[in-house]
Structure 1
Amino acid sequence: MSIIPYLAGILIIIGSFFALVAAIGLVRFPDVYSRMHAASKAGTVGSGLMMIALAVAAGDFATTLRAVAGVVFLLLTAPIAAHLLARASYKAGYKLWSGTVIDEMKE
């Protein structure tokens, strides 16, 4: 009996939990910036964990390498894309939530 299927299953469950948290954050948070934060952070971690589960469960080197490359690409591009979307939203005039303490994007 191997531990690999159990490890892959645990990673998928944890990744699914993070994806669920991201989905709840998209519905519950008050402004576009908070929603973007939830989607980018929790979504990145959730998708990354699911791709790591694929790499663990794959068994062949080519699939594992592709999954690891996907995780690296996701971790490099998702935060940058979220930052650029937030800047574009700010410049387009989307207001911050009234409970926001500091406006770091104000120039």
Structure 2
Amino acid sequence: MTGDEIREMVTVGLVLVAALMCFAAGVGLLRFPDVLSRLHAATKPQILGLMAVAAAIAVNNATIGTFALLTAIIIFQGLTAPITAHMVARAAYRSDHLRRDFLIRDELSESIDRVDEDNAGSPATAPRDTPD
């Protein structure tokens, strides 16, 4: 086997791993019952699939520019996907679009109750007057 054949086999293997990750994410989105479970199914395999595709590209096109670009893509996606999932989960929690019976421990309810109590005791802010 030549180096090109080995490189192509590794690339095919990594792309298949990425495809399986995407498939697992899709099945999880369809099968899981609530928002939090679906977010978990959407974000975890997405990052792993992206890393597998990036590795396949790096194996197939091994240049410094390619490595730099793929590293930046993985870092930015790795930073934004969990933050986005966290914000969507928090909004779903606050709007009561989740099944609380699936929660093992609800640490956020104490914080929200405390903030709601603090806000109930403080006077409402008056609208700002705008000069004419």
Q: Same fold (TM over 0.5)?
A: yes
Structure number with greater CO (CA < 8 Å, separation at least 6) is 1
How far does the alpha carbon of each residue in 1:79-101 deviate from its partner, in whole angstroms, 9 at most, with x for none?
Answer: 12111211111112213253433
Q: Which residue of 2 aligns with 1:86?
A: 89
Identity of aligned residues (%): 35
Q: Which residue of 2 aligns with 1:30?
A: 33
Q: Compare 21-30 and 54-63 and name the one that shifted more.
A: 54-63
Q: Does 1:66 align with 2:69?
A: yes
User: Matches of 1:59 and 1:13 in 2, distance apart?
Assistant: 20
Q: Which residue of 2 aligns with 1:106?
A: 109
User: Matches of 2:11 and 2:100 in 1, distance apart?
Assistant: 39
Contact between 1:56 and 1:64, CA under 8 Å: does it hold in 2? Answer: no
Contact between 1:55 and 1:68, CA under 8 Å: does it hold in 2? Answer: no
Aligned length in residues: 107
Larger Rg: 2
Q: Which residue of 2 aligns with 1:46?
A: 49
SS at match of 1:98: helix
Shift of 1:6: 1.6
> Structure 1 residues 83 and 37 mapped into 2: Cα distance closer, same or farther (>3 Å)?
same
TM-score, normalising length: structure 2: 0.72
Q: Compare 94-103 and 71-80 and name the one that shifted more.
A: 94-103
